[in-house]
Every structure is written in structure tokens, then in C-alpha cells.
A = this chain, B = another copy of it.
């Protein structure tokens, strides 16, 4: 028996589309329902059989036994009450947003069977045309249950992710937002900031170092504004850490302090090498 009957995916972009493809590949349900504001995205998803049925009307999710919210944070907040009105009481709800605290607080007020998910995979590219059944394979999904989360809800979410070849671990929404502010949101801020700071006339001289460092600066500004402002306090904290380190480098430069500069760079290199050992390289990951 398949673990789910009908799975609804709200937001058929890169993440939603990749989830739909992976779910189909692993035969986790009988029917995949897609919801999107964008008619062309829905049409593409239906034509390519990424989803079985699709609509711009949220009421199409009424029979789902699992709903995955794969739309931007603000859209999740906006849609929650509308979804609540049409679904069965037993329907499991999760989301895949990059921020958790505000979303979990709101969604667990509304849904008795909600749990937050954040699969640490993604791409700077957008849209269902870039969807990839293997986007999540081998990656880690952080689940953020709280005291209110029912065991059944958590188990169902684990079935979903494990069936897709994704490891799971749990932490509180606050822990999630603190960690992600450093390992994902701060690098995005740094990359955006670099590309904002470099005079346009110099860009012809860019080579691989700058290109890699700023690859994620082509990420969607609207989505990243929602993520950054949605994780506001942690962002202010992680940016302050970054500025402090940058200030240390600047002072060493100002004072021609070779010894101290080497020490900072060596510490950075050590951390970066530690990261490489811990994380298997995968193409396509860009949380």
C-alpha cells in the first residue's frame, strides 16, 4: 500500500516541482495535486505529468491526506486559513520554507496536524522547468516539531522524507532559524552585498573566484527579502558576527599586521576544510 493516497503540493516551482517528480518516482501516492498562482507553471506540470491534476483554486486540495506548502513564506501565511476551510481534519500539513519560527507558530495555531520541514537543498534557479527528481536525494531535512506536534504527524513527515532518500533530524524552530541564518541566509546576504558593492564597470574582469562566491546572488530577490526579513533578529546577529570578522581583517590590513591577518585566514581555511569533510559535495545544493 502506498503511504499516501493524495498529496497536494502548493507552489509548483523548483522545489514543489522537484518534490512532485521525486514523489512520483518513488510511487508514494496515487495522485499528486498541484496548486499555483501561475497558469503556465500548472500547464507545464500537467503536460509533463509532474502532477496529475492542478488548479489555481486552492479548494482542489480538499481530499488530500498530505499537503506540502512549497510556496514563499508570505504565500504560506496568506493561504493557511483558506486551506483550513477546505481540508479533512486528518490531513497532514507540512511546509518546506527556509525560515521556521514565524511559520511554525502561525501554522500550528491553524492546523492540528502540522509539522515544519526544511529540506537543505535547492538551487539559485527558479521554476518548474528546472525541477529535478534528484534534487533532494541524499540531503538532510530539518524537522521542527514542537510540544504541540502529534506523533502521527511527525511519523508521516518522516515517512515522506525517508521515502525520498532524505535524512531527517529534528530541532526547535528557533534553533533552525539561528543555524540557517549563519549557514544559508548570511552567505546569501554576503553574495548579494558583494554584487551590490562591485562597480559595474569592473565586472568584465571577473573570473572563477568571484563567480563562485556570488553564484547565489542570482537568487530571487522577492523570496530572499521574505526569508531575510522573516528571520530578522537572527540575521542581525549573524551579520554582526560577519561584520566583526571583516572588521578584524580590515584592522589587520590597516596596521599591516601580517601575523594577525594570517591567523584569521588560517582559521577560515581550517573551518572551510572541516566543512568539506563533513558534507559530501553535491551539485545543485544551494540552500
Contact = CB atoms under 8 A, between A and B. Distances in A.
Interface string A245-257: 1101110011010
Q: From DSSP, what is the main secondary structure of chain A's interface residues?
A: helix
A189 B139 contact: no
A194 B262 contact: no
A253 B274 CA distance: 31
Contacts of A214: 187, 213, 268, 272, 275
With a 10 A CB-CB cut-off, give which of A197, A222, A254 has the most chain B CB atoms.
A197
Interface stretch (A6-14, A16-24, A35-43, A233-241): A233-241
Contact of A221 (B217, B244, B262): B262
A273 interface: yes
A224 interface: yes
A241 B197 contact: yes
A120 interface: yes
Interface in A203-220: 203-219
B207 A285 contact: yes
A242 B194 contact: yes
Nearest to A124: B209
Interface residues of A, number: 92
A23 B66 CA distance: 62
A243 B242 contact: no
Contact of A217 (B195, B204, B268, B281): B268
A213 B191 contact: yes
B205 A187 contact: no
B190 A221 contact: no
Looking at A186, A236, A244, A284, the one whose CB has the most chain B CB atoms below 10 A away is: A186
Contact of A200 (B210, B224, B248, B271): B271
B205 A245 contact: no
A53 interface: no
Interface of A: 120-122, 124, 139-140, 142, 179-180, 182-184, 186-200, 202-219, 221-222, 224-225, 228-229, 232, 235-236, 238-239, 241-246, 248-250, 253-254, 256, 258, 261-262, 264-269, 271-276, 278-279, 281-287
List the 9 shortest-distance A-B pairs measured between CB atoms, nearest first: A208-B285, A221-B265, A195-B268, A192-B268, A197-B245, A207-B287, A207-B285, A217-B272, A187-B213
